Amino acid sequence: MTEERNHSEELFKVHKTVVAPGASEVVRLPVGALPTGRQILMEAHVFRAVEPGPVGLLLAGVHGDETNGIEIVRRTLEEGWFHNMQRGSIIALPVVNVYGFINYSREMPDGKDVNRSFPGSSRGSLASRVAHAITRRVLPLADWLIDFHTGGGRIYNYPQVRYSPGDEGSEQLAAQFGAPFSVGKAPIRQSLRRVAQEQGKPALVFEGGESLRYDAFAVEEGLNGLRRVLVGQGMLGGGVSGQPFLRHDFPRQGWVRAPKAGMFEALPEAGAHVVKGQELGFIHSPYGEKLAVVSAPRDGHLIACNRAPVVNQGDALFHLGYEGEESL
């Protein structure tokens, strides 16, 4: 982990608000306006313990339709997790992409993806301006961060964390989180995780469930993992609950794609272990003919599954994780 700073000896300022040790504040960051002129504000919920310690940054709703991530952060606020911390500080942003959340959309109104817009610009697109607000006003205060996501585009993600291989701090966070699946993958260019890594801040992405679909299992796994991190960081006391299944770490992954277009029938659920040659699903013609059998190319675990009933040739159907060194 990176060396934590003594924030009690610094001016802990989020946007224009100074937050004292032992205090909590809701800071509203202006990120734009609707065409009607109504200002759009991104809320940052800031909590500080009396005793100094690490500063954790929790984000959700970077993609506005990824509601399970939003629900995880919302639950921590509703249940008052951070009011009696033993040490350190938490900055929680439950809904980063307010525009997308309002419109049930992954992207901004201009079609741009916030998580491909970092570090952002105060003069750029709407997505770039939101990214800039986080990069300039919030990220500098953090010692580590977790970005909570949900599967997008009809993809169901089994609860998992994504960390940066070779980044000791990121690997340690993944171990503390203890998700059923851990996926080692270099961060994407212009993503929040990439910018955090460049600034020496350990970062995780949590993925669980499907966009615009509430999934209690994914939410609980996200909450349990976050509590384990906070206890491991010495920020929360007490034990941890909801220990995960045997943890699997996947340094290699690959997609199984649709060999034909048609109606898709999946067989195993996300999270299942499959063996080479096992039937994963079928693709049918809407006129009665079975067009293709989809089989596992290798032994592995199903990290994610496509739940779309109709697919095109080449569509991603199953995301497989491999515990060895092989990949597709």
Q: pLDDT tens for residues 35-51?
A: 999 999 999 999 999 99
Residues 6+ apart with CB under 8 A from 56: 88, 89, 90, 91, 142, 143, 144, 145, 146, 229, 230, 233, 235
pTM of the model: 0.94
Instruction: Please write the tens of the pLDDT for every residue from 84-97.
Output: 999 999 999 999 99
Residue indicated by tokens 């195993």? 268
CATH class of the structural domain 251-322: mainly beta
3-state secondary structure (DSSP) of residue 231? helix
Please determine, for residue 177, whether its predicted confidence score (pLDDT) is greater than 90.
Answer: yes
In the chain, beta strands by DSSP E: 13-14, 17-18, 24-33, 39-48, 55-60, 89-93, 144-151, 155-163, 181-184, 203-210, 248-250, 252-257, 262-266, 273-274, 279-284, 290-295, 300-306, 310-311, 316-322
ω into 94 cis (within 30 of 0): no
The pLDDT value given to residue 2: 47
Asked whether the predicted pLDDT for residue 225 surpasses 60, the reply is yes
Tally the C-alpha atoms within 13 A of residue 44's C-alpha that lie toward its C-beta: 27
* Of the candidates 76, 125, 135, 70, the residue with the CA atom closest to the CA atom of residue 101: 70
- How close are the terminal C-alpha atoms of the chain, in Å? 32
Angle (CA) 66 72 73, round 5°: 100
The Cα 240–Cα 260 span in angstroms is: 46
**Residues 16, 139: Cα–Cα separation, whole Å:** 15
Residue 153 pLDDT grade (very low, low, confident, very high; cuts 50, 70, 90) = confident
CB-based contacts of 255: which residues, under 8 Å, 6+ apart? 316, 317, 318, 319, 320, 328
Diameter of the chain measured on Cα atoms? 71
What pLDDT score was predicted for residue 245? 52
CA distance 232 to 144: 13
Domain extent listing, the chain = 7-232, 251-322
Distance, in Å, from the CA atom of 210 to the CA atom of 197, rounded to the nearest integer, reads 27
In 3D space, the residue among 313, 276, 317, 279 whose CA is nearest the CA of residue 297 turns out to be 276
Mean pLDDT of the region 247-275: 96
Summarised one tens digit per residue, pLDDT across range 11-25 is: 799 999 999 999 999
Nearest to 170 by CA among 145, 207, 142: 145
Helices 216-232 and 168-177: angle between axes, nearest 10 degrees: 120
**DSSP states of 73-119 as a string?**
HHHHHHTTTTTT-SSSEEEEES-S-HHHHHTT-SS-TTS--GGGSTT
Q: Of 186, 209, 179, 191, which Cα lies nearest the Cα of 120?
A: 191
The dotted CATH code for 7-232 is 3.40.630.10
What per-residue confidence (pLDDT) applies to 280? 99
pLDDT for res 328:
43
